Amino acid sequence: MSMSEYDLISIVSHELRSPLTAIRGYLSMLETMDADNLTQKQRLFISRIDQSSQRMADLIEKLLDLGSIESGNLNLSIAPTALENIVQAVALELGDKAKKADLDIIIADKKRLPVVLADPGRLQQIVTNLLDNAIKYSPQGGPINITFKQNAEEVVVMIADEGVGIPADQFNKLFTKFGRLYHPSTIDRPGSGLGLYIVKRLVECHGGRIWLTSKEGKGSKFSFSLPIAKQLPLLD
Amino acid sequence: MAKILIVEDDKILAEMYQEKFNHEGHQADVALSGEQALSELDKFKPELILLDILMPKLNGFHILKEIKKIPEYSNVPIVLLTNLDQSEVDMSEDMARAIGVADYLVKGQHTPDEVVARAIRHLKK
């Protein structure tokens, strides 16, 4: 796509934010200001409208990210960042969702990791996307293990599930725009197919790499690396 | 009860926040443009202003500067309300304070309940 087409994506996505804010805002007010007068069916309909509008909101944010990345306008606020704090925070945020899906998020007990150079908000986005995918593609429940490795130059984060796994011939497709894994057991799980592409580009913009190992029916492990912040003390 | 001026060019959004403030017992007025906001000040005498950033002709920052020049309103708390998130505007709390706003809220990230609750915290006692 040319630069002007990504600019168009950004402009349209921005314009969609306001009406979407109104939809979600009025729904929230219906639920809180008029709660006693709503029938069960009306509450259900409101919930469905809310879920659909949340999907729209997520897609808009992904399109805005895509526009920024592809047009070279992504602004990263790189700072020394405590990786384990970000991972813990995301695990906490997704904890209820994981529990409802009979999944157990297990973060490796480890020595303190070196500080990495990252935009904390974008790092949170990367970990959230990968962990959310692990939850989405593990319909049978089980553990999701988050482990770490390091060498002199980088720290590697590994998120492994025991879910549906990915056929080897789909590995490369997953990291492309709109590439999605289609599996009979997860066909009802919504997704734009942009998440992993954006995660890959964000990791690369941080000077890192991302890769995947998987076996169909056995689960998947997504790993990504981040450069260590040199000559900085370990955070307390 | 406080008098709140909502400066927002999207009529539906403006009336949504107005509805919520009024429901909470306040008196909210709407200005659909920066120019209208400036002309409403003396008529309405707000105690708190919610100010959108991206508006046609005069944007929120311009209106902010104009309001700050008027002695009677220079100390009225102003909350910036926008759909630009922090990565797009690079607005930290310190920066918000430095330019004279009390708070900065991204509309799409807060329900009307949350917007009202956070805004009224800045009302002068």
User: What integer pLDDT is reported at residue A2 of this predicted model?
Assistant: 57
The mean per-residue pLDDT over the stretch B15-38 comes to 94
- What are the tens digits of pLDDT across the range B46-83? 999 999 988 888 888 899 999 999 999 999 999 998 88
Residue A93: pLDDT over 90? yes
Residue B89: pLDDT over 70? no
User: What integer pLDDT is reported at residue B116 of this predicted model?
Assistant: 95
User: What integer pLDDT is reported at residue A181 of this predicted model?
Assistant: 67
Binned at pLDDT 50, 70 and 90, residue A98 comes out as very high
Residues of B in contact with A21 (CB under 8 A): 13, 83, 107-108
Q: How near does any CA of chain A get to the CA of B74, in Å?
A: 29
In DSSP notation, A67-116 reads HHHHTT------EEE-HHHHHHHHHHHTHHHHHHTTEEEEEPP-SPPPPE
Taking an 8 Å cut-off on Cβ atoms, the answer to whether B19 and A18 are in contact is no
In sequence order, the 6+-apart residues with CB closer than 8 A to the CB of A228 are A114, A115, A116, A117, A150, A152, A153, A154, A155
Q: How near does any CA of chain A get to the CA of B16, in Å?
A: 7
pTM of the model: 0.77
Interface test with A, best of B6, B8, B13 (most A CBs within 10 A): B13
User: What integer pLDDT is reported at residue B47 of this predicted model?
Assistant: 95
Taking an 8 Å cut-off on Cβ atoms, the answer to whether A57 and B12 are in contact is no
- Answer yes or no: CATH 3.40.50.2300 is held by domain B3-118: yes
User: What integer pLDDT is reported at residue B48 of this predicted model?
Assistant: 96
- Number of other CB atoms surrounding residue A81 within 10 Å: 20
Question: In sequence order, what are the beta bridge partners of B3?
Answer: B27
Binned at pLDDT 50, 70 and 90, residue A63 comes out as confident
Portion of chain A with pLDDT greater than 70, in percent: 89
Q: How near does any CA of chain B get to the CA of A220, in Å?
A: 32
The mean per-residue pLDDT over the stretch A194-222 comes to 93
> What's the complex ipTM?
0.85
The mean per-residue pLDDT over the stretch A103-111 comes to 85
